[in-house]
Structure 1
Amino acid sequence: MTELELEPGFYLLPKGMLPSVVVCLEMTERPAPREVPAPEGLTLRHVERPELGWYRALFAKVGEPWLWYGRRLLSDEQLAAVIHDPGVEVRVVELAGSPEGLLELDFRKPGEVELVYFGLTDALIGSRAGRWLMEQAITLAFRQPIRRFWVHTCNYDHRSALDFYRRSGFVPYRFALDLDPDPRLTGHLPMDAAPQAPVIP
């Protein structure tokens, strides 16, 4: 990650590049626990050493509408090195046995936990499932002493994502700009993914 020294102004980016404005958030102490019962038929299952094809399918199902593409850029060997690491925990939200959400936590850096991926499919968005899943995430992150629990969101996430994280106890602490080739143009995502982000070839 590079810290840029930019003058205030308006910058035209090369065509084919996808910029995202990122908000970094953290919580440095566990908020008071909330009683949020699991919606009917919903379970959270820890998947140890996820099979790569299964993980890629879940990642696509949950993240495609929001331009999740980071894991799609990895080879099988690179992906396995991450999600099979003992310090990375992958959990799937299941609704009556159907995979409908992803929770991924990274414990590899001592004293902190990253909420790497947190998402639900359309089948659960707008229900109480998000609140319930966040309470599970916070409990898992703070099950041992840590200095901070952190996450980032961007302008391509659900329009309520930032407010949701803030209501959950996260505090914004920094902006960032992420600039990559548009994954729809490189073939890593279908061209009709995330229509809220125009494709500019």
Structure 2
Amino acid sequence: MPQVTTTSLHMRSVDELRPSRATLPAGCRIERVDAITPEFSKFLYRSVGSVWNWADRLPLTRREWADIITRPGSETWVLWTNGAPAGYLELAGSPEGVVEIVYFGLFPEQLGRGFGGLLLAEGTTRAWDLHTRWQGFAPVHRVWVHTCSLDGPAALANYRARGFEVFAVEEADQAVVDASTGWWPEA
């Protein structure tokens, strides 16, 4: 089993957020998917994560997946280029004012085009104002994310460039699962 380094980062104020220097080109937009389905969520997850062997959600049933993405405070923001999805960011907010960026990434063909900084900056902005879209949620006081040595080589640098600061680093042996396999498991 390879040793995997997991780095956890956070921001404690929206004032720490640094925008991307790039601008969203014509034909591109970032928008929230208000009525996300498990199928679309899994499509995004696999389209981005299969390259990086994301496999933690693959054993979930459709119902388990739906429960995660439809709970209060859960939001999916998609980067669209010329009508097609190009990447996404999934948020998990808590009523206590903490938001985790659970998943973030681009489709493989979109890497290296400057979209990562744009999507992360916009997604982090949406994390900071998540409480304005969810009744009973306290104002956000912390946004956090984790990345690991299996993720894209620019991931950690992108988080730091947007203003996230490291608060924990862990190393552990971890089995790497081939994320290109698996459909909906039996209930």
TM over 0.5, shorter chain: yes
> Partner residue of 2:43?
57
2:168 to 160, 167, 174: 174
- What is the RMSD of the two structures over their aligned residues, measured on CA atoms? 2.2
The alignment status of 1:44 with 2:30, answered yes or no, reads yes
The alignment status of 1:84 with 2:84, answered yes or no, reads no
Report how many residues are paired.
172
Amino acid of the structure 1 residue aligned with 2:108: D
After superposition, the Cα gap between the structure-2 partners of 1:55 and 1:40, relative to the gap in structure 1 and judged at 3 Å, is same
- Mapped to 1, the partners of 2:144 and 2:37 lie a distance apart of 26
After superposition, the Cα gap between the structure-2 partners of 1:76 and 1:134, relative to the gap in structure 1 and judged at 3 Å, is same
**Greater mean deviation of Cα atoms: 175-184 or 148-157:** 175-184
Determine helix, strand or coil for the equivalent of 2:57.
Answer: helix
- After superposition, give the CA deviation of every residue in 1:56-94 in whole Å (9 maximum; x if it has no partner): 122111111111112212111111110011210012211
> Partner residue of 1:135?
121
1:26 to 5, 10, 17: 10
Please list, as runs of the form range in 1=range in 2, the aligned pairs for 1:46-195 lying within 5 A after superposition.
46-143=32-129, 144=131, 145-177=139-171, 181-184=175-178, 189-190=180-181
Task: Give the structure with the larger helix fraction.
Answer: 2
Amino acid of the structure 2 residue aligned with 1:161: A
Deviation at 1:180, TM superposition (A): 5.1
Deviation at 1:189, TM superposition (A): 3.2
Determine helix, strand or coil for the equivalent of 2:109.
Answer: coil
- Mapped to 2, the partners of 1:141 and 1:39 lie a distance apart of 23
TM-score (structure 1 length as normaliser): 0.76
Deviation at 1:101, TM superposition (A): 0.5
- Divergent runs of 4+, >6 A: none
Unaligned runs of 5+ in 2: 132-138, 182-187
The answer to whether the 8 Å contact 1:42/1:96 transfers is: yes
Unaligned runs of 5+ in 1: 1-16, 191-201
- After superposition, give the CA deviation of every residue in 1:11-59 in whole Å (9 maximum; x if it has no partner): xxxxxx5652200011111225536531222111211232222221221
